[in-house]
Structure 1
């Protein structure tokens, strides 16, 4: 039955019921009373129910009319609100933005940037997903995220064949360094930063595969598949930083993550004479996606704010 009902006739009924008058509905719809009467008659034929009774030139809704109006009122109200939101979103950022970010990077920077953004654009709300590159890329691809900031250093080898699916824009360059506490450096390394001597030390790692540690040794010394002595595996930048400060061993971190400790001299970077690894945080969205006005505004704001914060 639903496929046989003309939606325009339901709108006409809604106006008649609201006005309790054919003439009033005709005026609102800018059509003739005859046209309104014809729509009502055809609707009653389609649903096989009488909707109004005429009493002394007045329309009295039937029980069925009351029920139909109760169904239509919230639906049409939500429809109008949604269409208004779409229209407003073309002129002023509004609505929900679904954004992804690396776990520690997102924790450190995104709430602050989102709060500042909402001070300018209060009609925008956020859903923030924190995860690894694999999860974020998959969610962008499936449409679960509007866009994401992704750590491509951690993902580029595994996903380089798939990156053609995405539009990738580098936003922030972070130096990735191997570091230990100043006390550990003087007591254990004693200034000897040869690869063989470094590999006799204790290490802190983010993951069991030790990808970051292997990447550091490959970049600086050309060594493949090293087997470091890992004394702590923990999926947290804060925990790695704390373990380094506690003289537990060496760990791979971004320079931004331990900037204060480096400035105070409590943490020492391992310098080999080669340039440090550069880790790119990139804005990723689907290649063929046409961003909404709200998304464009947010992306521009996030680019500038994150670059400024990470300086």
Structure 2
């Protein structure tokens, strides 16, 4: 028998009459007319080519074939109930693995503390965390090797149609150098014309964060010819401490008392520079119960 929406309605009519023992009581139970229930059962018997009831006055008594169909339908209802209950249990006692990709500083300063508190509540959840730069994370997201990643807004054009993204976090950035570097070149910090000739450090060759800093504070991009690129924030901090030049780092790193003693923050002319971070998933990724629960937790925690 091919099941569709009409078939399921007929099965409900059949079940009601079988349980109540009469057409009228079954119709009353379903809040339908007796005629509608009668027609549903008649059509069901035609579909199944089975005689489902004996009629004895107003009583409807199941035939052997009717009892067999009733058992099948009750089993179907029980399976649906188990499926619903299983989903509820999963929501209360989650288990499984979450594969996430992160930039280094965000993983240390923000994500790991959140994982610790989430895992304390749901100890059967495991995390597989990958630390990498944006392009590698996007490749893994697009290949379904990661459930999601947190990246900056520098998403290469070839990934824009492959991923969905949602802004989740905003980190403040500061331009810093070592205190010895500042003391040695203090006179050059008085003008952007002389500052631009100092050695600079950024995370990629286009110098995106440095150019954003200068554009924010001096309303224009500048030409920097003396620069190095370092694609790791911890190594960037080491290079800055060694006096290799000027570079942009997250404020939460700079605010560490140990680093504050070693690094000098360049005074901002206008407001603060922020780096937007996005939660990125493959365009067609479907979140299961575990992922929905964790992403809700993550979004709620990041908004605090």
- TM-score category by the smaller chain? 0.5 to 0.7
TM-aligned CA deviation for residue 222 of structure 1: 4.5
1:259 aligns with 2:260: no
**Structure 2: any 5+ residue segments left out of the alignment?**
1-84
Rg larger for? 2
Matches within 5 A, 1:184-195: 184-190=181-187, 192-195=189-192
Counterpart position of 2:93: 92
TM-aligned CA deviation for residue 108 of structure 1: 4.4
1:214 aligns with 2:211: yes
The 3 A distance-change label for structure 1 pair 228 and 271 is: farther
The 3 A distance-change label for structure 1 pair 207 and 263 is: closer
1:274 aligns with 2:270: yes
Counterpart position of 1:247: 243
Contact 1:177 / 1:252 at 8 angstroms: preserved in 2?
Answer: yes
Normalising by structure 1, report the TM-score: 0.60
CA distance in structure 2 between the partners assigned to 1:104 and 1:201 by the alignment: 26
Cα deviations across residues 138-182 of structure 1 (Å, max 9, x unaligned)? Answer: 322332221111112xx14x33x8546544222221122211123
Cα deviations across residues 233-291 of structure 1 (Å, max 9, x unaligned)? Answer: 43321222222233332111121221125984543222342223210112222445442
- C-alpha RMSD over aligned residues: 3.4
Counterpart position of 2:170: 173
CA distance in structure 1 between the partners assigned to 2:121 and 2:86 by the alignment: 17
1:203 aligns with 2:200: yes
CA distance in structure 2 between the partners assigned to 1:265 and 1:275 by the alignment: 23
**Structure 1: any 5+ residue segments left out of the alignment?**
1-83
TM-aligned CA deviation for residue 107 of structure 1: 4.2
Contact 1:101 / 1:136 at 8 angstroms: preserved in 2?
Answer: yes
CA distance in structure 2 between the partners assigned to 1:130 and 1:307 by the alignment: 23
Select between 181-190 and 126-135 the one with higher mean Cα deviation: 181-190
Select between 257-266 and 244-253 the one with higher mean Cα deviation: 257-266
Q: How many residues align?
A: 224
Contact 1:193 / 1:270 at 8 angstroms: preserved in 2?
Answer: no
Normalising by structure 2, report the TM-score: 0.62
Of 223, 228, 234 in structure 1, the residue corresponding to residue 230 of structure 2 is 234
CA distance in structure 2 between the partners assigned to 1:260 and 1:117 by the alignment: 25
TM-aligned CA deviation for residue 188 of structure 1: 0.6
CA distance in structure 1 between the partners assigned to 2:271 and 2:258 by the alignment: 17
Contact 2:119 / 2:125 at 8 angstroms: preserved in 1?
Answer: yes
1:284 aligns with 2:285: no
Contact 1:92 / 1:294 at 8 angstroms: preserved in 2?
Answer: no
Counterpart position of 1:9: none
The 3 A distance-change label for structure 1 pair 195 and 206 is: same
